[in-house]
């Protein structure tokens, strides 16, 4: 293959090398990663899952996503914002999710902030996140996994803005992962079928 950091699946399709052969990863790469994600609730879910992913592999979160969705009431912003200590106690024993009390608390706190934003101005969270989309690609499409940054100026600014509003687990690297997965940036490698 002309690009060494691609993998060719059993279907003969070339994909970004991080996908490997896991069918969940293949489906995620092909249908979600880098596709523009719109709306307050969808972006809140993505923000929450990226926060849970901090320090872990994304496949760990992806395989538990159905459990996360059930445990967090479909990531309905108003519902999660109203979670109580009893809900936290319930969630830290739920084996379907990552049972990290700090991340669970952060998800609830983040929901409360988003809820306050969108209650009077629907779309405000969506607009805030998307306001950090780079205006254009400043470099060539990455050819190697090592060419993909861990954080950027935009993800750092998004992180600082969210932290100043009281959000937790929103560091620059986590925010860049959000930007990649929510389609604010397109880091599919040169030669990947999704880069066409």
Query: Which tokens in the block code for residue 159?
Result: 């992180």
Count the helix, strand and coil residues of the chain and give each as a percent rounded to the nearest 5. 55, 5, 40
Given the residues 3, 18, 58, 193, the one annotated as active site: 58
Residue with tokens 């979160």: 61
> Using CA atoms, how far apart are residues 166 and 186, in angstroms rounded to an integer?
28
Instruction: Please choose, from the candidates 116, 112, 87, the residue with its C-alpha nearest in 3D space to the C-alpha of residue 101.
Output: 87
Contact 113, 161 (CB under 8 A): no
Question: Is 50 an active-site residue?
Answer: yes
Query: Which tokens in the block code for residue 96?
Result: 């379907």
Question: Is 18 an active-site residue?
Answer: no
Question: Is 3 an active-site residue?
Answer: no
> Using CA atoms, how far apart are residues 189 and 11, in angstroms rounded to an integer?
18
Given the residues 25, 45, 50, 176, the one annotated as active site: 50
Given the residues 3, 18, 28, 193, the one annotated as active site: 28
By annotation, the residues acting in catalysis are 28, 50, 58
């Amino acid at each position: 293959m002309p690009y060494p950091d691609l993998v060719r699946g059993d279907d003969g399709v070339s994909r970004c090398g991080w996908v490997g052969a896991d069918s969940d990863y293949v489906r995620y790469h092909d249908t979600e990663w880098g596709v523009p994600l719109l709306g307050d609730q969808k972006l809140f879910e993505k923000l929450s899952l990226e926060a849970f992913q901090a320090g872990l592999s994304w496949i760990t979160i992806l395989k538990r996503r159905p459990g996360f969705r059930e445990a967090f009431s479909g990531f309905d912003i108003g519902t999660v914002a109203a979670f109580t200590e009893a809900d936290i106690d319930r969630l830290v024993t739920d084996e379907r999710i990552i049972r990290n009390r700090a991340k669970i608390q952060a998800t609830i706190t983040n929901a409360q902030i988003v809820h306050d934003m969108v209650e009077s101005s629907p779309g405000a969270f969506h607009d805030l996140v998307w306001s950090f989309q780079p205006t254009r690609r400043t470099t060539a499409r990455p050819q190697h996994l090592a060419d993909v940054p861990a954080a950027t100026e935009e993800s750092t600014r998004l992180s600082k803005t969210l932290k100043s509003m009281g959000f937790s687990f929103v560091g620059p690297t986590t925010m860049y992962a959000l930007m990649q997965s929510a389609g604010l940036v397109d880091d599919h490698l040169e030669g990947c079928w999704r880069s066409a």
